[in-house]
Amino acid sequence: MSRKQKNKIYILALLFILSGLALYSFYPGIKMAPDVSFKTISNKQIQLNQLQGKVLLISFWASNCPSCLKEIPDIISLYQEYHQRGLEIIAIAMYYDRPNYVVETRKNYQIPYDIALDSSMDLATAFGNVALTPTTFLLSPQGEIIYQITGSFDLQAMQTRIQTLLTQQGN
């Protein structure tokens, strides 16, 4: 191989490496869920990192949010369909939601999954300053935020995402 050919190979390799680095710098990467802990309205203490290994759906909501209330039956459906296979669901009531309204909503809708109050806004802040409801996060078993939506989610699309994660996990 001539020196000229070797130089071309080195230049191509260098361009390849530089291109990869440039793409990597623009790629936002995988966002991990924050390491937070909180207490549910049933007085259960949850450390989010202890749920690694499970698929996790987190919904920020409020009892006075019509879209949130409309979404509750879909979330209950997801819980009933996938909880036994490894899905955990946590609803986080926004700081402005009155605790007695949250408890009453849980009772009226017969919500089976955990609900936490975010009275100090710590959880909303940790998840990127959540301000609008509903805002839903889907986390992989590794704790990665793989999907986020503000507004109502599409039930079929969410089922597909959850099934994919559970299948990858072997459940």
The pTM for the full model equals: 0.82
What class has domain 30-169? alpha beta
Delimit the domains of the chain by residue range.
30-169
Residues 110-166 have pLDDT tens digits of 999 999 999 999 999 999 999 999 999 999 999 999 999 999 999 999 999 999 999
Q: What is the pLDDT of residue 27?
A: 41
Token pair, residue 39, equals 């207490």
**Helix, coil or strand: residue 77:** helix
Taking CA 109 as the corner, what is the angle to CA 159 and CA 72, rounded to the nearest 5 degrees? 30
Residues 3-36 have pLDDT tens digits of 766 666 656 544 455 444 444 434 455 799 999 9
Rounded CA-CA distance 148/140 in Å is 12
Taking CA 127 as the corner, what is the angle to CA 73 and CA 78, rounded to the nearest 5 degrees? 20
Rounded CA-CA distance 129/131 in Å is 6
Q: What is the pLDDT of residue 29?
A: 58
CB distance 150 to 132 below 8 Å: yes
pLDDT band at 170 (very low <50, low <70, confident <90, very high): confident
Partners of 32 in beta bridges = 144
**Residue 92 per-residue DSSP state:** E
